[in-house]
Chains A and B, each alone.
Chain A
Amino acid sequence: MKLTRFGKPALWRSIAAVSGVVLALAVGGTAVTTEWSGYINKYLGISNTTIVQGDSEEDPIHYKSQYTNYEDVMESAREVAKQVQAEGTVLMTNKNNALPLKEKSNVTFFGYNQVDLAHGGTGSGGVTSSAERKVDLKKACADGDDVKLNMNNTIYDFYKEKYDAKVGFVETQGWGGTSWNFRTVNSVNEINASEFTGDVTESFDDYSDAAIFIMTRIGGEGSDLSVSNKYLALTENERSVLQAMKDGNFSKRIVLVNTFNTPELGWLDEYNIDACLYIGGPGEVGMDAVTDILVGRTNPSGHLADTYAYDSFSSPAMQNFGNFEFSNSAEITNSDSRKYVMYNEGIFVGYRYYETRYEDTVLKKGNAASSAGVYASTDTWDYSEEVQFPFGWGMSYSTFTQTLDSVNVDWENKKAEVTVTVTNETPSIAGKDVVEVYAQAPYTEGGIEKASVQLCGFAKTEVLDEENPEQTLTITVDLSDIASYDYENYKTYVMEKGDYYFAIGNGAHEALNNILAAKGYDKEDGMDADGNASKAYKSEKLTFDKDEYRLSANDTSITNQFESTDINYYDEDAVTYLSRSDWNKTWPETMENFAATDSMIAEAASYYSAQTDGSTTPSAYEAGSSDTSSITIGAEQKYTLAMMIGVDYDDDNWDLLLDQLTVEDYLNSTKQGREAIKSVGLNATTAVDGPAAWTKSYYITNYEDQYDAEKVEVTDEQLVAYPTETVIAGTWNIELTEKLGESFGEEGLWGGGVGWYGPAANTHRTPYAGRNFEYYSEDGFIAGKLAEAEVHGAMSKGVICYLKHFFLNDQETNRIGVCTFSNEQAIREIYLRAFEYAFETTGENDPSCNGVMGGFNRLGMTWTGHHSNLWKNVMEGEWGFLGNVTTDFGQKPGSLMEPRLAYEAGTHMFCTSGSTFASYLEGADITSDLKLLTNMREALHRQLYNFANSAAMNGLTSDAKVVTVRTWYENALLAVTIIAAVVLAGSGVMAIAQSYFGKKDEKEAK
């Protein structure tokens, strides 16, 4: 029978066409799913590995949950989240005790954003939760029978109608077309009060117990808040709404500040506002706590962790914030090193600026009352006209008094003990109070810069009530925290001789006034309030210590490590940092059109092997010996990682385990630990974005099965969305923050994972940074202490915390590669400090954080991941850090991130890189470069050490084996590939045969 009789040529061609396309796509799909299996599995809630247990009777669960089902975990997490909001909400003003309201008061909420509050920021740290679980404003006011407030639904429905019609939404081009955003960081979406209908205005009379205006601003990853639109100021539409509130017949007027950045609130008096609450980003459940506070079920105890200036541009840091490009950027070969930002304000960030300048106006020193930096003052610089709410300020429904009982300064042992008694003078109103301890170091004109006050200790009381109205707290101050970093002369921390003051107060400003009072100053000298000298203590230091504070906690000598991060390193006297010696002359110049020097250009260029446009330049990397025989690869698999649980990092047995690693393991180690390393018995794990949640993650039904592909069951219940870090900071509560960390840890066990990209501890250098919602504060001390507590809590449940974004990554504009310049004093005293307490270990009870994420930015001209001084000298050397070092989201290898240089500097893995970096290194042939292989082995050593001491080991005993299993999609793709290949081959043969025999038939016919 002739083949030409089977079907027609067109049919076979069609079948070949379809099968060919399917085959190509199946092969491509297989490649994609192989490279990105970690993410795909995470999303599908499946695993491609399973555990085969041996005969061992060891308990395979190394990190245990205190819960038996995920519902209890969720309930507990929501309780913690609510508690954080309850303690982090700040009562900023409360005239005539306007708050609390009576329960079931009839209230009218004003502001378009009430229909969709900002529960968190946007970007990778953004949070979502189901409609059932999210406590929105309506649910917060009345949930079933539990009615706290009767809200005016007429105006709510008016706004909701606008919302549903997308009024004022901003159009964004996105996948598949246009998406609509309710709000952006560029403009405020508010309905002008002139649009209120008659029904709306008439409804006010029935809901006139209180008018509550919600001021909402958003912030997010990828872009800063709009400076050109002055996004943090009130808009005309908002003013119209406030005017309507003022004109209305309301008994009380209240404002809720639903922002993560510090907006301008100078209008509170203008619109007769009685009370103002900072609520931040409340997460999924926090609004319940906010309305509890409104009606007095909860007594607010939060304090501000940022300064609220009348003018959001008034901090010196704002002079150099945003987009700056080198004037000769065309000479810089790689496009992402052409932008810069200079921290010319030095240490004068946040309250350190406002309070220090205030003291100098009182002391009449340093031209403090000059016109430089005047934004809100009517003439010359005036603190009371510039600052509305100082750092540390917070009110309560109770009246507390604090007595400074004693201060014992032990200069020899570098400790001071501050004892304070807190009394609730209105014990029928139970509540908590915060004790804040500030220090002042002596400043010599022209010497090392010193802030007039710096936070050096804090604590929160228990609930003080009728039964227990008084509590005495002793706060230990580590005097190292008030030592000054002398980057110019001694190049280390020093403690100068002179008068040191320790003071307490409700905020930095009150503490400073107490210090000034102790110095003999009063209102006649220009103080804005009389201080209380009894709340300040002077201790004279008789000697100048230039060596006593040089040693870190692990006895490593501290010296300059960031000289090239100072622009003056490249161009002498390019910058004069802000100085108390003359506020007027040293007020920061805006560093526009700065020309990169030749050495800066050369340094920027040297770090790249390739540019984003595909062209190449020589890399600074120099390969090692091609003889790698000294490193054993693929040794017989006798040992497992489970055997190394609790084994010291320096133990020789690690070498035996590392010898078992294969080349594939080396390459896969770039992938953030998502891939299983079967040769040592490490299961596949995940790392998930934070810091306000385990984002996009779901609970599992049994945490003990998390890494067992054959047993794990994923629910459709998302992990809890907690309040933003600005709210956490507002709690000033280390114990609660540690409890929050533990809650994150529990959720990690129940579906989150092992690696958590959180918390984050960058500095609120300016109010306009897009990602401030992910960071605690403008102050490195409180940020550092809270970060440490949160990390310790999470680590106790086996989480690897990638504390981020380390460091000087304090703005979003140009963040990928931006060259950031600061002097080392500001780096040490402000920016590193926010991370230092978490990373530094002082002993067994103070474990070092087990992970870190480096920033996208450059320190000077060097990307953080390439900065060996940072990773090796500071982190490992000074602080004893032994955690995993990952990059931020992996970029094209060889562009910003050169993996060979990164490994050499101390980076261990590349975030979210799939196989990108593995392929790059495979091309570099790691087996013929001894230096690279050695560095990668060390990176693997570090990773395995941290995984061995994390929840990644749950399910594994010392004789268990990790076995790969095929996922359903892998099987499906394989089946499709085989079928398509067979059909293609068959149809191809038929098509060719018919063509051949057809021609033959044709010839024969002729």
Chain B
Amino acid sequence: MKMFKDFLANKRPGWYVSVASLLLGLITVIVYTARGGNYLSPVSSAAVVLLVFAVITNAAVLVIDFKLGAFIPMILYACTVAVFLNSEMLFITNVIFGVDGNYFDGAFFTFLVTGVLAMVTSAVAFGMGLSKSNKLKA
């Protein structure tokens, strides 16, 4: 318990923001895979791989802060969002063109928003720093 308290005591607010990005990343991966894509834009394996690595590295930097290591999940989340845009473009075009009577479903909206939020929060966390530095001793 003490170790955990000490662990938390050494964390900056950015660490908590990073926890939020991890949760958002998890929601994204779950919703995205559970939704399962559609006949226009199936699940992108590239997006899933990027997202899983983002979540893993996000979790890793929460436990072991490699200082600048928090940059990695941020970039992976950002890449995931870019892949989302590309892989969902056929579906997006289909909806915009009013074809098939398709519309942006709740799950689509959810994974896109949580993906973007995961990216943003991980960037904020990285900017804030996750752990306190050792004080310089006189």
| A residues adjacent to B (C-beta < 8 A) | 9-10, 13-18, 20-21, 23-25, 27-29, 31-32, 35-36, 39, 122-124, 126, 172-176, 179, 220-223, 336, 612-614, 689, 696, 816, 889-892, 895-896, 912-914, 916, 988, 991-992, 995, 998, 1001-1002, 1005-1006
**Bound state CA distance, A122 and B75, in angstroms?**
41
Asked whether, in the complex, the Cβ of B104 is within 8 Å of the Cβ of A36, the reply is: no
Q: Which 10 A-B pairs have the closest CB atoms?
A: A28-B82, A222-B101, A14-B127, A24-B78, A17-B123, A175-B104, A17-B126, A17-B127, A174-B103, A222-B100
Nearest B residue to A24 by beta-carbon distance?
B78
Judge if B81 is at the interface, Cβ distance under 8 Å.
yes
Residues of A within 8 A of B74 (CB): 17, 20-21
Partner of B42, one of A21, A176, A612, A890: A612
With a cutoff of 8 Å between Cβ atoms, the chain A residues found around residue B109 in the complex are 175-176
Q: Is the CB of A998 within 8 A of B133?
A: yes
Contact A896 B39 (CB under 8 A): yes
Complex CA gap A706/B5 in Å reads 69
CB distance from A27 to the nearest CB of B (A): 7
Bound state CA distance, A139 and B29, in angstroms? 53
A36 to B102, CA, bound (A): 19
Q: Are B89 and A914 in contact (CB under 8 A)?
A: yes
The answer to whether B25 has its CB under 8 Å from any CB of chain A is no
Contact A18:B100 (CB < 8 A) given known A28-B83, A889-B94: no
For residues 13 through 38 of chain B, which have their beta carbon under 8 Å from a beta carbon of chain A? Answer: 36-38
- A10 in contact with B127 (CB, 8 Å): yes
Is there contact, CB below 8 Å, between B42 and A892? yes
For A24, the chain B residues whose CB sits under 8 A away are 75, 78-79, 81-82, 119
CA distance in complex: A17, B69 (Å): 12
- Tell me, rounded to whole Å, the shortest Cβ–Cβ distance linking A340 to chain B: 18
Interface pair B39/A892, CB less than 8 Å apart:
yes
Known: A16-B71, A176-B109, A916-B90. A123 touches B104 (CB 8 A): no
Is B82 within 8 A of A912, CB to CB? no
**A991 and B68 form a contact (CB under 8 A):** yes
CB distance from B24 to the nearest CB of A (A): 14
0/1 interface trace, chain B 1-13, chain A, CB 8 Å (1 if under): 0000000000000
User: A14 contacts which chain B residues (CB < 8 A)?
Assistant: 126-128
Taking a contact as CB atoms under 8 Å apart, the answer to whether B99 and A20 are in contact is: no
Contact of B89 among A32, A612, A816 (CB under 8 A): A32
Output the least CB separation between B66 and chain A (Å).
10
The answer to whether B126 touches A13 (Cβ under 8 A) is yes
Flag if A891 contacts B40 (CB, 8 Å).
yes
Q: Which residue of A has the minimal Cβ distance to B48?
A: A614
Task: Give the complex CA separation of A124 and B134 in angstroms.
Answer: 62
Q: Bound complex: CA of A173 vs CA of B110, how far in Å? A: 13
A124 to B99, CA, bound (A): 5
Q: How far is the CB of B12 from chain A (nearest CB, A)?
A: 9
Residues of B within 8 A of A891 (CB): 39-40
Report chain B residues within 8 Å CB of A613.
Answer: 36, 42
- Please state if A914 and B93 are interface contacts (CB–CB under 8 Å): yes
When the two chains form their complex, are residues B68 and A995 in contact, meaning their CB atoms are under 8 A apart? yes
Residues B101 and A220 in contact, CB atoms below 8 Å apart = yes
Cβ proximity bits B67-96 to A, threshold 8 Å, 1 near / 0 not: 110010011001101110110011001110
Contact between B42 and A614, CB atoms less than 8 A apart: yes
Q: Which residue of A lies closest to B84 (CB)?
A: A28
Instruction: Check if A614 sits within 8 Å of B43, measured CB to CB.
Output: yes
Interface size class of B (residues with CB under 8 A): 35 or more
In the complex, what residues of B have CB within 8 A of residue A995's CB?
A: 67-68
Contact flag A25-B78 (CB < 8 Å), given A17-B71, A175-B103, A1006-B137: yes
Nearest-Cβ distance from residue B87 to partner chain A, whole angstroms: 10
A16 nearest CB across to chain B (Å): 7
Evaluate contact between B127 and A13: CB separation under 8 angstroms. Answer: yes
Q: Is the CB of A28 within 8 A of B79?
A: yes
Contact partners of B106 in chain A: CB under 8 A = 173
Q: Tell whether, in the assembled complex, residue A336 and residue B101 are in contact, meaning their CB atoms are under 8 Å apart.
A: no
Interface flag for B59 (CB, 8 Å): no
Question: How far is B33's CA from A614's CA once the two chains are assembled, in angstroms?
Answer: 12
Residues of A within 8 A of B56 (CB): none
A13 in contact with B68 (CB, 8 Å): yes
Find the A residue at minimum CB distance from B133: A998
Residues on A with beta carbons closer than 8 Å to the beta carbon of B71: 13, 16-17, 20, 988
Minimum distance in angstroms from A551 CB to a CB of chain B: 40
Residue of B nearest to A185 (CB): B101
Q: Give the docked Cα–Cα distance between A410 and B126 (Å).
A: 88
Which A residues lie within 8 Å of B37 (CB)?
612
Asked whether, in the complex, the Cβ of B97 is within 8 Å of the Cβ of A21, the reply is no
Q: Which of B79, B89, B104, B138 contacts A1005 (CB 8 A)?
A: B138
What are 19 A-to-B residue pairs whose CB atoms are below 8 Å?
A15-B127, A20-B78, A24-B119, A28-B86, A32-B89, A122-B98, A122-B101, A222-B101, A612-B37, A891-B39, A892-B40, A892-B42, A912-B97, A914-B90, A916-B90, A992-B68, A995-B68, A998-B133, A1005-B136
Q: Is A31 in contact with B82, judged by CB distance below 8 angstroms?
A: yes
| Complex partner residue of B86 from A18, A35, A172, CB under 8 angstroms | A35
CB contacts (< 8 Å) of B94 on chain A: these are 889, 912
Decide: A123 near B126, CB < 8 A? Known: A13-B68, A995-B68: no
- In contact, A1001 and B136 (Cβ under 8 angstroms): yes
Query: A892 to B120, alpha carbons, bound, how many Å?
Result: 31
The closest CB in chain B to the CB of A14 belongs to B127
Q: Are A16 and B85 in contact (CB under 8 A)?
A: no
Closest beta carbon of chain A to B77's beta carbon, Å? 8
The answer on a CB contact under 8 Å between B120 and A21 is yes
**Set of chain A residues within 8 Å of B105, measured between Cβ atoms:** 173
A1001 partner residues in chain B, CB cutoff 8 A: 136
Interface residues of B in 103-138 (CB under 8 A from A): 103-106, 109, 119-120, 123-124, 126-129, 133-134, 136-138
| Nearest chain A residue, comparing its CB with the CB of B78 | A24
Contact check, A222 vs B102: say whether CB atoms are below 8 A apart: yes
Question: Quick one: which of B38, B95, B105, B126 has the most chain A CB within 10 A?
Answer: B126
Choose from B81, B103, B137 the contact partner of A28 (Cβ within 8 Å). B81
Say how far B78's CB is from chain A's closest CB, in angstroms.
Answer: 3
Closest chain-B Cβ to A989's Cβ sits at a distance in Å of 11
Cα(A614)–Cα(B103), bound, Å: 22
Compute how far the CA of A912 lies from the CA of B91 in the bound complex, rounded to whole angstroms: 11
**B68 contact set on A, CB distance < 8 A:** 13, 988, 991-992, 995
Partner among A16, A31, A39, A895 whose Cβ is within 8 Å of the Cβ of B93: A39
Closest to B105 in A: A173
A28 CA to B88 CA, complexed, in Å: 13
Q: A122 contacts which chain B residues (CB < 8 A)? A: 98, 101
Known A896-B39, A992-B68; contact A21-B123, beta-carbon cutoff 8 A: yes
Contact residues in B for A1005 (Cβ distance below 8 Å):
136-138
- Contact between B82 and A25 (Cβ–Cβ < 8 Å)? yes
Closest to A22 in B: B78
With both beta carbons as reference points, the residue of chain B lying nearest to A10 in the complex is identified as B129
Residues of chain A within 8 A (CB-CB) of B98 are 122-124, 126, 221
Q: How far is the CA of A916 from the CA of B40 in the complex (A)?
A: 10
Residues of A within 8 A of B67 (CB): 995
A890 to B99, CA, bound (A): 11
- Quote the shortest CB–CB distance from A610 to chain B (angstroms): 9
A20-B75, A123-B98, A612-B39 known; A32+B85 contact, CB < 8 A: yes
> Are A614 and B45 interface neighbours, CB within 8 A?
yes
Residues of B within 8 A of A21 (CB): 74, 78, 119-120, 123
Measured CB to CB, the closest approach of chain A to B130, in angstroms, equals 10
Q: Taking CB as reference atom, which chain A residue is nearest B106?
A: A173
Q: Which residues of A contact B79 (CB under 8 A)?
A: 24, 28
- Provide the residues of chain A in CB contact with B120, threshold 8 Å: 21
A914 CB contacts on chain B under 8 angstroms: 89-90, 93
Give CA–CA (A988, B128) in the complex, Å: 15
> Given A10-B127, A36-B93, A998-B133, A173–B103 Cβ distance below 8 Å?
yes
Contact yes or no, A32 B86, CB < 8 A: yes
Cβ-closest chain B residue relative to A1006:
B137
